[in-house]
């Protein structure tokens, strides 16, 4: 189960005794202690990495299905909106529906991928999961969104980058299948952050310079001193709050965090490849989905990544894919190589 809010942040909230947040500490403790949700039907994982099944200009239509858990922790919940149906008036339902459409649109129109599996897989989401549940996650079948506690976190469908992030976990699962542990797990989280940012930029028509490069912007309440969960461009600066503490993400390999928690620091150390991606995109400028986005997608679908890929292996593959797509002497390949170098990750020359 791959969550957007890291356990170290929930730990801080759970341990707090701040009068601003009388309900948040309990909500965080419940989010940390909860068991995997009950599931209707078996989970079937792919046997082989899938390749995109559509050309970039080929028309395709998402098949969205939004369910309402109604405050319970049993999935999928009650189906409340299907593809083509009108707004329900429930903000979480309609935001999830629109966000899945925005995410599908990016993968379809830019990368030629029809849904998560490249073959039109239905996009399933559940909202109103649990009581004041402080997270969103991909469980291998669907995206699941809590409503937040209302003191620290707002509803998790409020941020398009969060919706894109969770769906991108499904794409990784169907392509490179990066193991959710250590450096490969940090790459798994990084890929979701990268495509979550691209979904938001694509929907807003933003170039790499205008983009905020924030993940989860808007999910903190006004009581929190913070912009977002993470900053791809400036890891370690997303928040600095009396209760939450300071964003602990490293921005360079010299500060890489060795830990047994958080699956070996997957949410922490993802800041390093995140910064490499954002730096390369800004150096190239223009629309990031047309440059680094294409290269990262090529890398995911290349079949050349081991499920336990390290930062160095992933970086080297992005450079190879950039040279293949844009040319060995291209500005895109040079910017990607330099982006990795700036965060202390060597690439093969």
pLDDT in tens, 285-302: 999 999 999 999 999 999
Higher per-residue confidence, 50 vs 220: 220
Q: For residue 119, what are the contacts with CB-CB under 8 A and spacing of at least 6?
A: 50, 53
Contact 295, 347 (CB under 8 A): no
The pLDDT tens digits of the residues spanning 145-182 come to 999 999 999 999 999 999 999 999 999 999 999 999 99
- The more confidently predicted of residues 46 and 151 is 151
Q: Answer whether 198's CB lies under 8 Å from 214's CB.
A: no
Lowest-confidence pick of 6-10, 47-51, 292-296:
47-51
223 near 21, Cβ under 8 Å?
yes
DSSP class of residue 38 equals B
Instruction: Given the residues 73, 151, 166, 332, select the one marked as catalytic.
Output: 166
Judged against a pLDDT cut of 50, whether residue 48 lies above it is answered with no
Q: Judge whether 258 and 197 are in contact, CB under 8 Å.
A: no
Q: Which of 200, 217, 267, 317 is catalytic?
A: 267
Q: What percent of the chain has pLDDT over 70?
A: 91
Per the annotation, the verdict on 324 as an active-site residue is no
Closest of 166, 5, 3 to residue 96, by C-alpha = 166
Taking CA atoms, 131 is separated from 2, 74, 139, 173, 191, in Å, by 19, 12, 18, 28, 29
- State the pLDDT confidence band at 41, using cuts at 50, 70 and 90: very low
pLDDT surpasses 80 at 202: yes
227-255 pLDDT tens trace: 999 999 999 999 999 889 999 999 999 99
- Model confidence band, residue 33 (pLDDT cutoffs 50, 70, 90): confident
Structural domains in the chain, sorted by start: 2-42+50-173 (3.10.170.10), 182-342 (1.10.390.10)
Is 80 exceeded by the pLDDT of residue 315?
Answer: yes
- Asked if residue 124 lies in contact with residue 109, where contact means CB atoms within 8 angstroms, the answer is no
Note the pLDDT of residue 6: 84
Residue 202's CB: how many other CB atoms inside 10 A? 24
| Mean pLDDT across 330-341 | 97
- H/E element, 67: strand 64-68
Burial of 155 by CB count in 10 Å (0-12 exposed, 13-18 middle, 19+ buried)?
Answer: buried
Query: Residue 59 — very low, low, confident or very high, per pLDDT cuts 50/70/90?
Result: low
Mean pLDDT throughout 318-342?
A: 97
Q: Which of 298, 296, 265 is CA-nearest to residue 186?
A: 265
Share above pLDDT 90 across residues of the chain, in percent, rounded to a whole number: 79
What count of residues does the chain have?
349
CB atoms within 10 A of CB 301: 21
In order of 68, 136, 234, 274, the CA distances from 271 in angstroms are 33, 19, 8, 5
Tell me the C-alpha distance between 145 and 211, whole Å.
Answer: 25
CA gap 81, 247 in Å, rounded: 37
Q: pLDDT digits over 71-109, tens only?
A: 999 999 999 999 999 999 999 999 999 999 999 999 999
166 is annotated as an active-site residue? yes
């Amino acid at each position: 189960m791959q969550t957007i809010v890291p356990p170290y942040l929930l730990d801080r909230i759970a341990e707090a005794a701040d009068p601003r947040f009388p309900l948040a500490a309990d909500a965080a403790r419940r989010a940390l202690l909860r068991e995997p949700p009950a599931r209707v039907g078996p989970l079937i994982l792919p046997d082989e990495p899938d390749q995109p099944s559509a050309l970039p200009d080929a028309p395709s239509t998402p098949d969205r299905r939004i369910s309402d858990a109604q405050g319970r922790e049993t999935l999928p919940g009650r189906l409340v909106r299907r593809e083509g149906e009108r707004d329900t008036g429930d903000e979480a339902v309609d935001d999830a529906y629109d966000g899945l459409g925005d995410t599908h649109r990016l993968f379809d129109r830019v990368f030629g991928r029809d849904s998560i599996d490249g073959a039109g897989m239905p996009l399933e989401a559940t909202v109103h999961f649990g009581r004041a549940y402080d997270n969103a996650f991909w469980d291998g079948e669907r995206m699941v969104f809590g409503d937040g506690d209302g003191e620290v976190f707002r509803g998790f469908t409020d941020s398009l980058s969060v919706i894109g992030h969770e769906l991108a976990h499904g794409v990784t699962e169907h392509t490179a299948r990066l193991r959710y542990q250590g450096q490969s797990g940090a790459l798994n989280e990084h890929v979701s952050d990268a495509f979550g940012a691209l979904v938001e930029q694509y929907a807003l028509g933003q170039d790499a310079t205008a983009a905020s490069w924030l993940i989860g912007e808007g999910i903190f309440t006004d009581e929190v001193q913070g912009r977002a969960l993470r900053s791809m461009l400036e890891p370690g600066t997303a928040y600095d709050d009396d209760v939450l503490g300071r964003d602990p993400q490293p921005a360079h390999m010299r500060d890489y965090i060795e830990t047994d928690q958080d699956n070996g620091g997957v949410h922490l150390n993802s800041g390093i490849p995140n910064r490499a991606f954002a730096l390369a995109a800004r150096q190239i400028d223009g629309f990031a989905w047309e440059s680094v986005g294409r290269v990262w997608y090529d890398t995911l679908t290349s079949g050349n990544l081991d499920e336990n890929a390290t930062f160095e292996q992933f970086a080297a593959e992005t450079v190879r894919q950039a040279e293949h797509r844009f040319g060995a002497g291209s500005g895109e390949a040079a910017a990607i190589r330099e982006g990795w170098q700036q965060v202390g990750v060597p690439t093969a020359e």
